[in-house]
Structure formats: C-alpha cells, structure tokens
Amino acid sequence: PRGLRCVLMTELCHPKKFKSNNQSVYKMAMMIDDTPMEEEKNVKVLEHNKKFDRQIRLWGIHGQRNIERTHIVVLGSGPTASETLKNLVLPNMGQFTIIDNAIVNEADLGNNFFVDSSGLGKSRAKVVTELLLEMNPDVKGLSILKDPVAVIETEIEIFERYTIVVATQIHGLPIQKLASFCFEKKIPFLWLRSYGLLSCVRVAFPQHLVIESHPEDDRQDLYIHPKQLSRFSVLKDYLESFDLHNADTKYHVHIPFIAILVRCTQIWQQKHNGSLPSGWEETSAFKSLIQSYRNHPEAINFIEALAVSFKAITKPRVPSEVLKVLNDPNSKDLNAQSDPFWILVAALNLFIETEGDGFLPVSTNIPDMTSESECYVRIKRIYLEKAESDSAFIQKSVKDILEEIGLPEYTISDEDIAYFVKNCRNLACIRTRSIAAEYDTNIHSDDLIEELTEFDPSESDDRPPEQQILNPKNVHWYYCFRAIEEFWMATNRIPESDEDVATLSKIVTRLYAENGLSDHSMPVECLHEICRFGGSELHNISAFIGGVASQICLKLVTKQYIPLNNTFFFNGIFSSASRWDL
C-alpha cells in the first residue's frame, strides 16, 4: 500500500505525464492510506462497546465516557478499599490510586480477596493494585507507599488532582481535615468504616448536579392538554383531522390514542362550557365518553387512550425536584464563575416564562401506539420539529446569557444544550452537609431523633429479660461509631477489650446529651460488641459496603441517578440498614 500510494501521489504531482484526474487520484491515495487506520479504530470502538454493552444500556455512551475519564484515590488497601475498587475497575474506570504503607501479613490472607500468600511481606497497596489490574487491563492503577495520615497532614494538596476521594478505616482529626479540604475544593468525598458485622458510608459534597436522574415516576409529557396544544398548533390541527365517527374498521382501530384523547376532550368541553373533567365522577364520565366511541372489540387504541386519559385533562406539573432546581438562587445570580448547569437552567426558566407559556419544552419521548406506520412517523416528526424549535430558543438564550456574563459561546456546546433540553424533566441538585456540620453539637439530626424515638415492638416484650432478644436500633450503633472516633482521638487506637467499655460508655452518654438525646441510653451490650470487634474488617461485610460505595461513585461520575445523601449504615448482625441525612 505504501508503494502504491507513492505512485498515486507522483501522478498527482505530474498530471501531464499520467493524464489522470487529480481529484480522483488524491481521493484514492488518501483512501489507501487512511482506510485501514479508520477501520482499525472502528473495530476497537465496536469491541469496546460490545465489552461494556450491558452498562452502556444503563448510562449511555456519554456516561461510560465519564467513567473512563475518572481518577479515583483510595486511602487504605484493606478489604473495604479493595472491594470498592473492584466494582469500579470492572466497569472500566479510567485510573485509580491507592495510598497505603501497610505490609501484607497473615491476617490479610483471611479477609482480603485481593491478597495472596505470595504477597506476604510486600506492600499491600502494590499487591492489591496488581491483582485488581488483572481483572481489567484497560484500567490504569498506581500505588503510593505512604502512610495515608501522613499524606493528609503534609501533602493534602495532592488530593485536588482526583475526581473522587475515598478514605477507609481512618479516624480522628485527620479524617475531619481531609473531609473539610475536599468539601472546600468541591471534591466528592466518601468515608468508609467497617467494624466486624457493622459498616457505614458517609458521603460529603457541597453540590452535585444531575441532568439524568432516571426518576421512577412517570414524567412522560404527551403535550395534549388543551393549554399545551394552544402553543402546539401543528399537532392540534393534525389530531383534529381524525374522525371518531368513521365506521371503517381499519380506520377506526388505527386512530392514534392521542387523537382519541384530544377529540374526546374537545367534545367534553363543548358540552361543559369549556371546562375539563374534575373529581372522580366527572373523570369516570370522561372515560365513559371515550369508551362510547369504541365500536369494534379489536380497537386496542381505545384501551391505550383509557389507560392515560388523565394526561389529556390534567395540567402537567413540573416535578418537585425539577422545580427546586428552577427556583435555585444559583440560576438567578449568574457570573463568569457560574457552573454551566445553572446557565442552562436560567435559559430554561426564560423559555418557561415566555415561549413555553408556563410549560417545559416539547419532548420527543413519545410511546408506541396502535396506528398506521405513516401516521406514527408523521406524529414523531411533528414532535421532533417542535422539540427542535424549543431547543433552538433555549440555545439562543444560552448564547445571550454567555455574552451577557462575558463568556465565549463555545463555553457550552450545542450538543450539551440539546442533551440538557432532552432531559429537562429529570434535573436534580443534591447538596449534603459537611462532616464538620455533622460533628457540630449545635446541629441535631432529625433523622436520628425520629428513628430513636419511633415505636419498637421489642420494647413492649413482656417476657423475662433472659428470654428477650436484644435488637438495638441502628442509631445506637451509629453513636458507637461516633464513640470510636472520640476514643481514637484520646488514645490513638481502636477499643478492643472489655476494659474500654467504661470509657466508651462515658463518651456515648456525653454524645447523647450534646445531641438532645438525654432521655435515651445506650445498651451496654452494644459497647461490648464494639470492643469485641476490635476494628476488624470481615470480608463479606466489606464486600457489601464496598458495593454500596462503588455504586455511589458511579452515580457521581456519570452524573446520573441520585446518589446517597448522606449516610448509609448496615447492620450485619440483624441484616438491617438505615439511611440518614446527618
């Protein structure tokens, strides 16, 4: 191919000698040179997409791309750390770094799946890194053989280079210092602790912006409410062209259900002075009206219309989560430092207030429906054209806002604007409290107080004490974890014997008093159990909490779904769990 390309390029340079068409020769030369490279690139893309097909179906190519651009740092290399990373290496996270100076010992062989006997006496971070990379050679992994606490104390600035910071089994003031640093720098921070059969995940970030929240409720907007159709005349005119009285069977059973709903709504309004059905009786009467036009048992389209009849007579509301985003002060006070997300929200607000007449833009998310193919294609085209028109309005508004605050147009691409508009019904903004706020005695968590004071059937057990089964609430275990932190700061170690129970008891009593829980007491059995665990990590519990932590990380980096806010506690003794906003 190289020799042939040289001949062709020679012909290109000497057209009189070879008497050929220069443009054709040039194209042929370029095709010979570039096609193999292009084909090789396409093959790699196809292989990549095939390899990660199942997860791409969940969060799309753009979500996968975000994952592969991620660089996560994990402090510690125990089972909790390695299990968290395992679940991030498999979906092809771009790069990870482990910071730890621990040496592999025999205890590690019993609780860490990513350590084997050949690693005894070696750096645990390095051994874990090597075994993790065997699972996915496309991922890059590094190990820094330093004490995580020392790094926090002397080199804390290095954490600015990472996408997410995860700390495992670190206690006391160093963890509070790192958490505060990450919160200030707006770096998502996860704190994982696993003691025996108990484990906890604490997430902290000042703000997390989500465009694709994947809500569980139905947010499909057909745009067929009368007030919506007043700004969507093309769809209104087309749907009005269908005749519900047409007796032809083929025609009748292929009327799109949205046309049935629009026509029946108009008939209802004509009979009721322009008002829409309200209340159970009128809604039932409206459904009966729809049913009355069904003159063939195979008219499935009328069944489809009945199933979503409320969409034609109920004015669509902006979802509460989206409404919070639209009303957020960040979308009002814009400047050159504003996140592009808030600029997009400001443009969306402008659309709703003007062009949208109080409604969100038209969506192309239209369901399948029983109709003729040509009819359905035309309906899809009508929705698409209106959606593009609405998107163009928002696009222009974004450009105007960027110019107003002194930013270039390319700050937000047209693709990003289209992506935002497409998902404008799924927006969310999540803010967590900092760990410093959690430890502030002037801020009491309503979640903890509510769970601690709620009725517990075991408290009314009339059996003798020796026959009763002790099942402490997870709030008690949470305060055990808080007591461990206080104990660590005082002694620089984890409580590990019954001699430490008295000290823990005093700490818990003080914590209860400081947090408005003086009327409650800690079951002493909890403190004995904590001391019995001695800070040990059990592999199965670490695997579970590592799975929870990795799921949170994936939600954060893909900017899809709603991440935890902000504490998850797992009780492996009774297989129960709690989520609190602390």
Indicate whether 180 and 102 sit together in one domain. Answer: yes
Indicate whether 392 and 441 sit together in one domain. Answer: no
Indicate whether 414 and 384 sit together in one domain. Answer: yes
Indicate whether 200 and 72 sit together in one domain. Answer: yes
Q: What is the pTM of this model?
A: 0.86
Contact between residue 557 and residue 67 where contact means Cβ atoms under 8 Å apart:
yes
Please report whether residue 174 resides in a domain. yes
The angle that helices 501-514 and 524-533 make with each other, rounded to 10 degrees, is 120
The pLDDT assigned to 3 comes to 41
Contact between residue 291 and residue 299 where contact means Cβ atoms under 8 Å apart:
no
Indicate whether 461 and 508 sit together in one domain. Answer: yes
Please report whether residue 210 resides in a domain. no
d(CA 576, CA 344): 41
Please report whether residue 211 resides in a domain. no
Indicate whether 62 and 158 sit together in one domain. Answer: yes
Q: Which residue has the tokens 């000290």?
A: 503
Indicate whether 196 and 67 sit together in one domain. Answer: yes
Please report whether residue 157 resides in a domain. yes
Indicate whether 77 and 186 sit together in one domain. Answer: yes
Please report whether residue 212 resides in a domain. no
Which residues have CB under 8 Å from 568's CB, separation 6+?
200, 201, 548, 577, 578, 579
The pLDDT assigned to 155 comes to 95
Indicate whether 470 and 518 sit together in one domain. Answer: yes
The pLDDT assigned to 11 comes to 42
The pLDDT assigned to 446 comes to 82
Q: Give the CATH number of the domain where residue 165 resides.
A: 3.40.50.720
CA 267, chain centre distance (Å) = 44
Per-residue pLDDT of the chain (582 residues; tens, 9 = 90+): 444 344 434 444 444 444 444 444 444 444 445 555 666 667 777 888 888 888 999 899 999 999 999 999 999 999 999 999 999 999 999 999 999 999 999 999 999 999 999 999 999 999 999 999 999 999 999 999 999 999 999 999 999 999 999 999 999 999 999 999 999 999 999 999 999 999 999 999 999 999 999 998 888 999 999 999 999 999 999 999 999 999 899 999 999 999 999 999 999 999 999 999 999 999 999 999 999 999 888 899 999 999 999 999 999 999 999 999 999 999 999 999 999 999 999 999 999 999 999 999 999 999 999 999 999 999 999 999 999 999 999 999 999 999 999 999 999 999 999 999 999 999 999 999 999 988 887 667 788 888 887 766 555 556 666 555 567 889 999 999 999 999 999 999 999 998 999 999 999 999 988 888 887 888 899 999 999 999 999 999 999 999 999 999 999 999 999 999 999 999 999 999 999 998
Last residue of a domain, one of 286, 315, 344: 315
Show the domain range for 26: 2-51
Please report whether residue 356 resides in a domain. yes
Please report whether residue 193 resides in a domain. yes
User: How many structural domains compose the chain?
Assistant: 5
The pLDDT assigned to 449 comes to 82
Indicate whether 65 and 172 sit together in one domain. Answer: yes
d(CA 243, CA 260): 9
The pLDDT assigned to 427 comes to 96
Indicate whether 94 and 172 sit together in one domain. Answer: yes
Please report whether residue 136 resides in a domain. yes
- Classify residue 315 by burial, with Cβ atoms within 10 Å: 0-12, 13-18, 19+: exposed
485's enclosing H/E stretch is helix 474-491
d(CA 228, CA 458): 55
550-552-555-561 Cα dihedral, nearest 10 degrees: 130
The pLDDT assigned to 565 comes to 93
Last residue of a domain, one of 295, 315, 335: 315
Contact between residue 355 and residue 223 where contact means Cβ atoms under 8 Å apart:
no
In DSSP notation, 214-282 reads --SS-------SHHHHTT-HHHHHHHHT--TT---HHHHTTS-HHHHHHHHHHHHHHHTTTPPP-HHHH
The pLDDT assigned to 25 comes to 42
Indicate whether 73 and 149 sit together in one domain. Answer: yes
d(CA 311, CA 258): 9
Helix (DSSP H) and strand (DSSP E) numbers for the chain: 26, 10
